[in-house]
Amino acid sequence: MKVIMYHYVRRYNPSLPHFRFLDVENFKKQLDYFAENFGFVSQSEWATWVTTGQMPHQPDKIILTFDDAMSCHYDYVYPELLKRNLWGIFYACSQPYLTGKMLDVHRTHVLCGAFEGRTLVAASEEVVSPDMIPNREREEFTSQTYRNQENYSGVSRFKRMLNYFVDPALKTHILDKIFEHLDYQVDSKGFYVSQENLIEMNNNGMIIGSHSVTHTLLSTLSLDQQRYELEESFRFIESITAQRDRTYCHPYGGTRSYNKDTLSILEQLNTDYAFSVNYRDIDDTDFVSSRQTLPRYDCNLFPHGLAS
C-alpha cells in the first residue's frame, strides 16, 4: 500500500505571493493518475489491515492522508473525495481548537508566503541569538531536513532554524519578535477546519486523527511533555468524533521527529497506528514491526504533485 501525504491543497492567494501549495486542479489530476495506475484502498480493506495485518489483494493501492486540518481540506479536498466516493485520514492538532491561536509551524508558513527568503533570514538573524539554539547535531539536521522541497532562496534556512534548531520553549517568543520586526500580522480565524466541520467530515466517512497538541518536534521534549502532547490531543479528537481508529501522525515526520519515548507512549495509549515519513510502501512486515512509524510518500514524488 502506498500512503500519500498532503498539506496545503488550495488556490493562489495574491496576499501570499510566495506561498507553496498544491493547486486544486493538480490535486484532481493526481487523483486521476492514482485511480488509473493504482486504485485506492477501501475502508474495509484498511480496517482489515489494521485488525489482522492482511494486505489488500492488490498491494500497491493508495491511501490518502492530510496533515494539519487546514480549512482548505474542508473547502477543496473533502468535497472532491465525496464526489469520487473516496475517503481520507485527516490529522488535526488540538491547540487551535482549545486556544484559538495559530500554530507556530503555520505562522512560519504564512511568513514564508508573505516575504522573500532573504528578508526572513535577515529578520531572524536580528532576533535569534546563539544562546537560543541548543547544541545539537546541527550539521546532520542541515543535511537531512527539507531535502525534497523546492523552496525559494533562504526559506529552507529560515524554516530549518525555527523548526529544528531553536529551543522549542522559545519558538513562540521568537516568532512574535519576527512578526514585530517585519511589522506584519496574521489572523488565525478561518485557517483551520472548524470543529463542526471536523465532525461532519468524520460522520461522512473521513478518519480524524491526532497530530499532537502544538505540532512540536516531539524528539526535543521530555517524557512528560511528550505524554501531554499525545494524551491531550487524543482526548480532544475523541471528544468530538466517534470512530474506530486511534491514529496519530508524527509532526514533521522522519526518524528525527520522534524517539523511543514517543513510540513507547503511543503503545501505552493503545494507538492503532501512526504515520511518519519514509518513502516506501507499507509491506507485510509493518503490521508487527512498524505500527507506530508507518511509511508515507510526499505527494510531490508523483505526477501532478509539485507545489505551485
Instruction: State whether 15 and 160 are in the same domain.
Output: no
Residue pair 92/237 in contact by the 8 Å Cβ criterion: yes
Structural domain containing residue 36: 2-100+192-301
> Mind listing the pLDDT tens digit for each residue in 172-196?
999 999 999 999 998 888 999 999 9
In a domain, 187, yes or no: no
- On the question of pLDDT at 143 being above 60, the answer is no
> Which residue among 153, 182, 211 closes a domain?
182
Instruction: State whether 112 and 14 are in the same domain.
Output: no
Whose CA is closest to 127, among 165, 166, 181, 170? 181
In a domain, 277, yes or no: yes
Instruction: State whether 128 and 277 are in the same domain.
Output: no
Instruction: State whether 25 and 87 are in the same domain.
Output: yes
Instruction: State whether 196 and 294 are in the same domain.
Output: yes
In a domain, 11, yes or no: yes
> Mind listing the pLDDT tens digit for each residue in 32-75?
999 999 999 999 999 999 999 999 999 899 999 999 999 999 99
> Mind listing the pLDDT tens digit for each residue in 194-229?
999 999 999 999 999 999 999 999 999 999 999 999
3-class DSSP state for residue 208?
Answer: strand
At 149, the pLDDT band (50, 70, 90 cuts) reads low
Phi, psi of 167, deg, nearest 5: -60, 125
Q: What is the dihedral of CA 238, 219, 156, 76, to 10 degrees?
A: -10
226 Cβ contact list (under 8 Å, min separation 6): 218, 261, 262, 265
Alpha-carbon span 205 to 89, nearest angstrom: 9
Q: How many domains does the chain have?
A: 2
> Which residue among 152, 182, 212 closes a domain?
182
**Please, where are the H alpha helices in the chain?**
24-37, 43-52, 71-72, 78-83, 95-99, 104-114, 117-127, 138-144, 155-160, 171-182, 195-203, 223-240, 260-268, 286-289
This prediction has a pTM of: 0.92
Cell of 267: 503503545
Instruction: State whether 112 and 46 are in the same domain.
Output: no
Q: What is the dihedral of CA 22, 105, 102, 264, to 10 degrees?
A: 110
Tell me which residue has cell 472548524.
194
